[in-house]
Amino acid sequence: MNQQNALSRVPVKQLVKNAQVKNMIANVLHDREPQFATSIVSIVNSNRSLANVDQMSVIQSAMVAATLDLPIDQNLGYVWLVPYKGKAQAQIGYKGYIQLAQRSGQYRAMNAVAVHEGELISWNPLTEEVAFDPMKKVSDTVIGYIGYFKLLNGFEKTVYWTKEQIEAHRQRFSKAGGNSPWKSDFDAMAKKTVLKDLLTKWGPMSTQMAVAASKDEADPDPVNIEADETTKDKQAEDLFNQVSELPQESVKEVPKENTQSEQTTAKTASKKVNKPTPIKAVEKEKKEPATEKTDDVNEIIKTVPNETPDEEQTELLNHWGEPVNE
């Protein structure tokens, strides 16, 4: 099991205490790291569905907001953390898009509003020209949403979506079911949908705005919290991989001669920088077992008479016993 999978089950309140996670947040937010970590824990505590997903994905989604320097307080509506298919995803709110657009320094004005019955005077879907008069409102029933911006150079654009278009978009792209901001804050999500469509089609996009659009409602990128791996370990791993790829060749064992001269030569050669000269294998002479010359011995044995004692010697032996050599 790799470390990433192991960390996915560690509660967020413990993950934010991990030294590498703390450094990762601090590298982006610097001295605001403690407050940001507290906000992550608070979000998970207030939405228990987030406690049941991959906990590292919660950190990763929160890092999207950190990278964009947007607050993750769910009540502010800049960024939401939403559970989806076992992971957390970051969803940028319409206030987040407005904030990023203001930072670009190219927009004079920007807004998105709900349109009630009686307020829409006319609308041309082809040219997207909209006549809107909020003073002619006749009820609180919402019939659509309008997004608008004006650039510093005078260019302005308006986009209108009907309530039916918004609802069709929600059914197609809403991912979190009952935990989605579409259920808790439909009006804010509808405004975000219109404004995102307006900006990505017609507005100049800063780098942060482009990042927000690409990361919005997307699976979070994996975060490498093992970035402090030592160079020595990395070099050792690379060397091991290189050796593993080399073809395996048969190696013949070279017998060693235990002589003082060869030991001295080996010590001297180990101190040289030049490539050592290959050592030729020297076969030991097989010593044939010595053959005992038994022929002469057998001949001598044959010359020794096999004497047996006569009757007189036998009587003496029985009387006196065997003679003792002094």
State the chain's mean pLDDT as an integer.
77
Q: How far apart are CA 200 and CA 193, in angstroms?
A: 11
The angle subtended at Cα 254 by Cα 251 and Cα 256, nearest 5°, is 155
Confidence at residue 180, expressed as pLDDT on a 0 to 100 scale: 76
Nearest to 80 by CA among 210, 209, 181, 191: 181
pLDDT for 141 beyond 60? yes
pLDDT for 245 beyond 80? no
Higher pLDDT, 282 or 24: 24
Confidence at residue 212, expressed as pLDDT on a 0 to 100 scale: 94
Nearest to 158 by CA among 190, 201, 216, 99: 201
Query: What is the tally of helices (H) and strands (E) in the chain?
Result: 14, 7
pLDDT for 131 beyond 70? yes
pLDDT for 243 beyond 70? no
Confidence label for 312 from pLDDT (cuts 50, 70 and 90): low
Confidence label for 284 from pLDDT (cuts 50, 70 and 90): very low
SS3 326: coil
Confidence at residue 62, expressed as pLDDT on a 0 to 100 scale: 95
Nearest to 58 by CA among 77, 45, 76, 75: 45
The model's pLDDT over 13-26, given as tens digits with 9 standing for 90+, comes to 999 999 999 999 99
The domains of the chain are located at 1-93+216-226, 107-203
* CA distances, 252 to each of 32, 50, 281, 287 (Å): 64, 62, 9, 22
Q: How far apart are CA 60 and CA 89, in angstroms?
A: 8
pLDDT, mean of residues 266-280: 48
pLDDT for 153 beyond 50? yes
CB 182 within 8 Å of CB 217: no
pLDDT, mean of residues 30-37: 94
Q: How far apart are CA 196 and CA 98, in angstroms?
A: 10
Alpha-carbon torsion angle 191, 193, 199, 202, nearest 10: -110
The angle subtended at Cα 257 by Cα 252 and Cα 263, nearest 5°, is 110
Confidence label for 230 from pLDDT (cuts 50, 70 and 90): very low
Running DSSP on this structure, what letter comes out for residue 286?
P
Confidence label for 317 from pLDDT (cuts 50, 70 and 90): low
